[in-house]
Amino acid sequence: MTQVIRSGEWLRPDSGIGLGLDDVEPGTFNMSISTDRYTCPEYAALERERIWSRVWQVVGRVDDLPKVGDWKRYQILDQSYVIVRGKDEKLRGFVNACRHRGNMLCMTNTGNAKRGLLCQYHLWSYDLEGKLRGVLRENLSGQIDKSDNSLLAVSVDTFGGFIFLNPDPDAQPLREYLGDKVIELIEPYRLDQMTTVMDVREALDCNWKVVMDAFEEGYHINGIHPQLLAVLNIDPATTRYQFFENHSVAVAPFEVQGAGAQKQVDGIMALPETFPGTAAVIPRFQELVAPYQNADGEVEFPESVTARSLLQQATRDTLTGFGLDVSGLTDDQMSDNQGWVLFPNFFMTVRAGECHIIMAVPHPDGDPNRCIWHVSSYMFLPAEHRDAFRADLIEVEEPGSYKYFEALHQDYVQMPRQQKGLRNNRLDHMSLVKEEVVIGHFHSVIDRYMAEATS
């Protein structure tokens, strides 16, 4: 009988797949990062040409567009696109401009155009496949060839419940860009079955890469997130990595090394303050801990039991009870957040039943010292609770007015401080330490894109 290999098996030190820090040879990735890539307008302009016009980027969730005619707008710098669900249920993307005189078709973030897209300027109309259908006073319009004036199509595809768009007319297929191994490792989480429970977008005073860098390493946890030390082991010796052509994944075990049983339990009980998605698991966790409490309520575990193993069992039991198939995930994936970087701007921490996404894009005004960050969280919920917990997009207009959860707020405050430091003229590079190897890989991919001549 063939043994089924689950997506988390790569974490085993004997798997021959995952890497430890000592397995990454010096010089493999760029660990000296020039600061001009964060502050230089000319560098930002080249990024626009060589990265943002050529890569697949997440523009939303499939369930954002549930009905025929539903559309949403996506903007990267000054380029605007619209994604619409057709009568055949297929999602299509178009340049958000009328073929007559370029007027923008969709001015708001979302809407429905069941009868097709209409330009409000001269009332040219298009069907949901982008074909030009109506021209005002067509009998007087002259030599207008409708077949030659369809909306300009852009590539759109989906994975894990996310909608991806690529502005490049010659874009490689999404699944090819992601790669078979990445798809194989992420699919068992069943992201497409999760519900959006937080969705916030806000302008920040830092470069988009400052945001990406911040979430690609755990080196800053002691300084910025001391509360996480109760449950997150950041011993670099136990962190495991996989690096792909454009993407990467890393994970550090979710446990307190060397702590007694009671401290381990207390740390897990405090998890919902920082990771709200764990709240649903706590009741089952308490049930599993109860047999190990003495008359004074203190917890004592035998050698074969840990708070970590009970958290994993509680998570599996809870999610299975909710109806989520987690059979393709290992016990480690019940408790440990794997940190995925999908180039260029998608960072995801994911464990069974929940994930948190950080994305950042250049600010539309092109200033390299500013960006738009987009943070969102997704959970698997029983069907009867999904509508109650589903969150709409919040556009934050006043800085500091939105209350992020604790760890996210700490990063929110820190990132603009780094950008201020990077603007000092005499600071010409950053020097990464070994455990920031994911940042090194990320910037090595940037280097490759920036060095490639456009076709």
**Residue pLDDT, tens place only, 84-109:** 999 999 999 999 999 998 999 999 99
Residue 142 has pLDDT above 80, yes or no: no
What average pLDDT does the chain have? 91
Residue 454 has pLDDT above 60, yes or no: no
pLDDT value, residue 85? 98
pLDDT value, residue 227? 72
pLDDT value, residue 266? 87
pTM of the model as a whole:
0.93
pLDDT tens string 251-280 = 988 776 667 888 889 888 887 776 777 889
pLDDT value, residue 455? 45
Separation CA 188–CA 201 (nearest Å): 28
Residue 1 has pLDDT above 50, yes or no: no
Give the chain's domains with CATH numbers: 1-55+188-454 (3.90.380.10), 57-170 (2.102.10.10)
Separation CA 415–CA 210 (nearest Å): 7
- Range of lowest pLDDT (7-16, 199-208, 303-312, 368-377): 7-16
Q: Which residues pair with 132 in a beta bridge?
A: 126
pLDDT value, residue 17? 77
3-state secondary structure 52-64: HCCCCEEEEEHHH
Query: How is residue 249 written in tokens?
Result: 């994944």
Residue 441 has pLDDT above 90, yes or no: yes
What angle, rounded to 10 degrees, do the helices at 307-322 and 282-289 form? 130
How would DSSP label each residue in 230-293? GT----GGG-EEEE-SS-EEEE---S-TT--HHHHHHHHHTGGGT-GGGGGTHHHHHHHHGGGB
